[in-house]
Structure 1
C-alpha cells in the first residue's frame, strides 16, 4: 500500500474536509456507578483494591468479593491484589457491571532475569545459551537454574542417555521422584508433585520450544530432545498460571524454530501436534441452555403459534434487547419472514436506542438477512455514540460499500487514517491496522474506477495481496472472552485465545482504541473441509455476546462475494461448532 495513500486520496474527495470537521472527540464526564464481583475462578476474593487510575477513588471488595465504585467514561479501573496479576479495565459508555476473574502473577522473562549479583538480559542469556547447557528456553524466556528464584531440575544437553521411545521414558529414567504413568504407545501423564499430595492431583503440562501442550507429546522422539527441565507446581504456577498447578516439563529440541506469525491458518495449524478429537456441540445440542421462550419458539408448529409465544413473553422481557434479537432471528430464519422481524424491531426500538452493544448486534442481523440499508442507519447511530472508536469507522465504511455508496465508504477510510496521522485517534495494533488497510485496498482494487481518477487505482493496490477465503469476525461486546478454533482438513487445529488471561495486551489495546474484530486467511493450498468452532468464556456482565462471521469467497477476485452469519454466544466453557467451509468448492455447510 502506498504510504501516502491517505493524504493523496483526500485531493480526490473534496467533501472529506467537511467530514473531518464532524469529529467531535466527545468526552463524557458523567459519573456512573459500577459494581461487580471479583473471584479467582472458584471463590470470591476479599480485599481486592479497585482504584480509578490517576485519581484518588479507591474501594475494596467485601467478604463476598463484591464492590461498588463511581467512575467516568474513559476512566481506567485498576484491580490489584498481592500475588495476583493486576488488571486494568477501561470504563466504556455501556459499562455498568464488571465481574472479574483474577489470576496468579506471571513474571515474563522477556527483559531481564534477576540474579544474586546483577541483572542479566535475555540478550546476554541468548549469547550464553549454546555454551551453557544448563540454560533452558521456556515460553517466557531463557531460565538459568543457578540464579532462578525457584527450583528447576535440568537434564542438560548430551546427558539424555535414555533408550526410551518418548518423554515418559526419559523422565522415568532421569528424574527420580517424579511420578510417571502410562506408556509411549497409549499415552500417559507426569505428576511432578507426586500422587501423595493432599491437594488436587493435576498432571504436568509441557512447554516444547515455547509451545504449550496439555497432552503428553508422546510423538516427540528422545533423539530430538536437546535439554529437558522439570518445574514444580508452585514455581510453574508463578510463570504459567493456574494451568500449570501440576508442574511443567520443559523440552528444548534440536529442531526448534521461531514459529512464524502469519495469519494463514494452514500454516498455523501445522505448527503443533494439535489433533482435533472433538466434540464440538451443535446449536441444536445447546438448546437446553437457552431461555424458555427461545425453546418454545423452536418448538412451535406454526407461525401463529410462534407469534403467540412472542406475545406471551413480551411483557416479561419488555426492554430486553436480547429477547427481541432472538425473536428477529427466529422469525427471519425459521419462517423466512424478514418483514415481520423488521416490524418487531421497529415497534420495540426503544430497547436498543442509546445502547451501542445492542445496536451493533442488531446491525449484525440486518447484514445477515440482507437488510443493508437498515444496517447503515444503525451503524450511523453507533458512530454518533462512539466517534472515537476505530470500529465505528470500519463498520460504517463497510456498510456504505454494501449499499454502493462508495465515495462515502472511501471518505471514512481516509478520515480514520487522517485522524490517526494527526494523533487525534490512537494507532491500533498492527493486525488491526493491516485489516483496515486491507479493506480499503480491496475497495480500490475492485471498484477503484468508481471512486478515483482512471490513472490512480493502481497506485493504491498492495503488492502480492492475499487471494483465497477470508474470514472476518466481529463481536458486539468488547468485554467478550472466547477461544476461536480452526480445524483444517487434516484435523489439525489452530486456537486463537481472546481473554485477559491469555492476551491481556491485546484486550487493553482493543478497549483503548475501540475495536473488536479479527481476520483470518485461508489459502487454497489445503483443500477440503474446514471446521470453525468457538468456546465462549463469558463477559463481565454475564450476558450473551453476539458474534458476526463474514466469509469472503474468492477474495480480491472479480468473483468476490460474501456471506454473513451471526451467532449468539451464551453457553460458557464448551466447544461449539459455528460453521464449516469446503475450500474445494467454497460451499458453506452447517
Structure 2
C-alpha cells in the first residue's frame, strides 16, 4: 500500500476525532507542604491573569483555572513551583523546597523573560544559548560571565577537544600527567598552582562529570559554554566551585567510549555502587484491606458480596474496581471481572487517566481489541496529545494490524512537521519516529512503492525499554543497575527535572524510552522509587522490554504495576541484555 495514501486516509479519518478542548474553568484544590509541615501564606497565581489566592494556616488552597493554564506557587525562601494544568487536574497537593543560592553579582534591568518553549525555538539560530540540566541559559540574560563557543569553530587538533578549546578561552589551563595525558584536569579561575582552586566540572547534555569527558570527538560538539566565575557554584553548588564547562553535543546523549564506536555507559562516571539491600520486591507492596478480605473469602460468591458492600464506600476510586477485577480474573471468574471493568468504564468515562489504566488492564489480559476501543476514546478526548496517537497506533500493531498502526503514526508525524516549539528528537516525537520506522522496517515486504528512510536506530543492536504511566503528575526515580553493579538514575520529579515534566504537558505525553546497547551485556536490574502524583490515587505504569530491538528476532514483554508505596526503592524487573543468547 502506498504510504502517501495511508497518510491522506488517516488525516480524514482522524479529523472526525478532533474536538474542541474543554475551556471552562475548573476548581483546583489541595494542600501545600514542605514535605512534612503545612505551608501557610503561599501565593498561588494563574500565570498571565489576575486570578490568585493564598494558602491558609493548614496549607490548603482553592483556585479556579482552565486546563493547560499554569499555576505558580511562590513563597519567600522557597523555589517557585510552576505547574501546567491538565484536563483532569482537580486535587493538586504541592511540595515546595528551599531556595538555596549563593549571590555572585546581580544585574537588574527591565527585560522580558522568555519561556523555555521560546528559547527552544531560538536555539538553533541563537548561538548565545546553551542547553543545561536546568533548562536553556542565555548568555545575554544571566547575571554572571559566560562565554559560548560554536563547535564548528573548534579545530580537530591535539589528542582531544581541550587543545582546540584552550585556544579560545583566555586563562584556561590544562594540566596533563606524563603518565596519563588522556586524563587531564582543567582550571579556569587562575592561579599557578593546582591547590589554589579546584578543577572545573563538566556538564554534557544534562549530565554532570567531575572528570574531563575527553571521549567526546570535537566533530560531535555543537557548542560549549564556559563559566569561570562563582556563578557556576551559585547554580550547580560546590561541585562547580572551580567553574563549569557545558557541552551540547550534536548527537544528544549518544556518547562513545574513547577510541571506539562503542556507546558510553553513563553509570561509569558516577561513584554509584548499588546495594541490593536498598531495594524491595514489588510483591511486598501494601495491600488495601478490601483486597485482603477478597483473598480470605471462601468462594467467588462470597468475594462478590464483599465487593458489592465495599463499592458503597469506595465506588469513587477507580483503583478499587481494577483491584477487584484483577482478583476475580485470578480466581477464574472472568465474567465477574468483565462486569466490574464495565462498571469502571461507565463511571469514569470522562477521565483519560483512568481510561488509560483500564486500557493497561485489557492489555495485561491480552484483550487488545478492548484496549483499542479505550485508546480511541482517549484520542477523542485528547486529540492534541502525542501520547494518544502513539498508544492507539501501538495497540493496533500489537493486535496484528500494522497498516492501521502506520496510518495513525503517519497522522501524527504529518501534524508534527508543523510544530517547531520542541526539539524533534525529544520526548514523544522520538518514540513515535522510532516505532514508526521499526514498523516499516519489519513489514517492508508488504510495503510496495514505499521508500523507507533511515531511522535513528537503524544500526542499533540491543534492548529497548519503554516506560509509560497513566498520570502525568506522577513523580518517581527510575534506576538502572548495570552488570557491574553500578546504577544510573533518571529522575521524573519537579525538584530535579521540572523542565521535562512541563515539556511532557506541552506535547501531551507520559512515556520515556531507554536504549541499552548490546556492548553492555549481562543482567540489568530496573528499580523504581515512587513519590506520588499530587492526588490520593495510585499511578499505573506499563514497562515494555524489546529484546534485539529492530532485528528479525525481536521479542517484547510488558510488565504492569500499581504504584502505591512512596519513598521505597522497588525492583520492577531484570533484563538479560545479550542478543546472541536471546536469539537461541
Which TM class, normalised by the smaller chain length? 0.7 to 0.9
Partner of 2:275: 277
Report whether the alignment pairs 1:396 with 2:431.
no
Provide, for residues 121-177 of structure 1, a one-character-per-residue CA deviation record: whole Å limited to 9, x for no partner.
24399888672679xxxxxxx9988xxxxxxxx9x663439xxxxxxxxxxxx99xx
Partner of 1:185: none
Provide, for residues 454-484 of structure 1, a one-character-per-residue CA deviation record: whole Å limited to 9, x for no partner.
2425446557342322110100000001000
Report whether the alignment pairs 1:81 with 2:75.
yes
Distance of 2:23 and 2:141 partners within structure 1? 43
Change (3 A) 1:84 1:100: same
Partner of 2:195: 160
| Equivalent pair of 2:282/2:570 in contact (CA under 8 Å) | yes
Unaligned runs of 5+ in 1: 1-7, 135-141, 146-153, 162-173, 176-205, 218-228
Following superposition, the deviation at residue 587 of structure 1 comes to 9.6
The 5 A counterparts of 1:39-54 are 39-54=33-48
Unaligned runs of 5+ in 2: 102-133, 150-164, 175-185, 212-227, 256-261
Distance of 1:485 and 1:327 partners within structure 2? 30
Partner of 1:322: 319
> Match for 1:440 among 431, 436, 448?
436
Count of aligned pairs between the two proteins:
495
Partner of 1:170: none
TM-score with structure 1 length normalisation? 0.73
Partner of 2:181: none
Provide, for residues 168-207 of structure 1, a one-character-per-residue CA deviation record: whole Å limited to 9, x for no partner.
xxxxxx99xxxxxxxxxxxxxxxxxxxxxxxxxxxxxx99
Distance of 1:101 and 1:253 partners within structure 2? 30
Following superposition, the deviation at residue 363 of structure 1 comes to 0.6
Partner of 1:98: 92
Distance of 2:532 and 2:428 partners within structure 1? 23
Distance of 2:481 and 2:440 partners within structure 1? 32
Distance of 1:523 and 1:11 partners within structure 2? 36
Partner of 1:131: 171
Change (3 A) 1:101 1:462: closer
Distance of 2:581 and 2:315 partners within structure 1? 39
Following superposition, the deviation at residue 252 of structure 1 comes to 8.1
Secondary structure in 1 aligned to 2:280? coil
> Match for 1:31 among 12, 20, 25?
25
Report whether the alignment pairs 1:410 with 2:406.
yes
Secondary structure in 2 aligned to 1:104? coil
Higher deviation after alignment, 104-113 or 427-436: 104-113
Provide, for residues 246-277 of structure 1, a one-character-per-residue CA deviation record: whole Å limited to 9, x for no partner.
x76857899x9999723999712223221101
Partner of 1:120: 145
Following superposition, the deviation at residue 580 of structure 1 comes to 1.2
| Equivalent pair of 1:265/1:494 in contact (CA under 8 Å) | no
| Equivalent pair of 1:546/1:568 in contact (CA under 8 Å) | yes
Provide, for residues 23-60 of structure 1, a one-character-per-residue CA deviation record: whole Å limited to 9, x for no partner.
53513121211111222223222222212122221111
| Equivalent pair of 1:444/1:457 in contact (CA under 8 Å) | no
Secondary structure in 2 aligned to 1:284? helix
TM-score with structure 2 length normalisation? 0.74
Higher deviation after alignment, 297-306 or 41-50: 297-306
Distance of 1:266 and 1:339 partners within structure 2? 51
